[in-house]
Structure 1
Amino acid sequence: MTFTDEMAGAFPAGNPLPALLRQAITWLEEQGCVRTRRDGGDGSWAGLWRDDTGQQRMVHLGSGSGSLMLCVLTDTPQDLLRLLAIGYNELCWPEQFERTPQEVRDDECTDDDYPPPPCCFEATLNGH
């Protein structure tokens, strides 16, 4: 069984893994890039929320001890993939969104503690 199959199997029948996210996870797995982690180093989580109309939305749940952000990150799987391709390391700090990921790297991190931007993923989403 692949990581993608295991991940898809963890979703309840009433709130399944969206097909586009399954496709993206499969592609990432083929590139050797799949790993699971929290949304922020502070203990925040990202999740799929199914609203009262049945639409799946991607949400952020702040830990409360670091990030206090509680919000809908994106309304669609496509927008989630676009957001991830921008290259922020953590999505739990909304004040960072006023700067580019490169500016965040330059201002707050050493070369060793910030992962490189997802250039390959971004190029694939852009059809290159």
Structure 2
Amino acid sequence: MFYIEKRDGFARLGLLEIEGKKIRTPAMLEGEILRKIELEKAPYQVKKIDPEIYEKLKRSGEINAIIGIARMMPREIAEAFSEIRGKNPIFAVACATPANVSALIYLGADLVDNLMAIAKAYSGMYFMGDLEVN
């Protein structure tokens, strides 16, 4: 269950309950809690290619996930967030880095993960505030 407590533009402060565990949003998810979230079988970009297949494969559950943000153009990202905005929390999957996490929250992401930052760190990328050094 997701309870919205306060809004600031598109960003929201809220409380999300997943299997008895309460999470204040916006939040960065990691570890066991990520395994409990069921994601869609098709990324949002499939909607542009074949809307019928996307409608069959998308999941309509408690958490709306946007998958593949790292490969989207800025306009597509804004459209995706505005289209799925509603009463359910929005999970921006595998795209948050220290440089863009605040923009994702501003656009309306309630949940992010650290998978992109970890993947970049393993490939030799160093994060220094808003700067990424290879």
Structure 2 length-normalised TM: 0.22
Higher helix share: 1
Higher strand share: 2
Structure 1 length-normalised TM: 0.22
Structure with the bigger RCO (C-alpha within 8 Å, sep 6+) is: 2
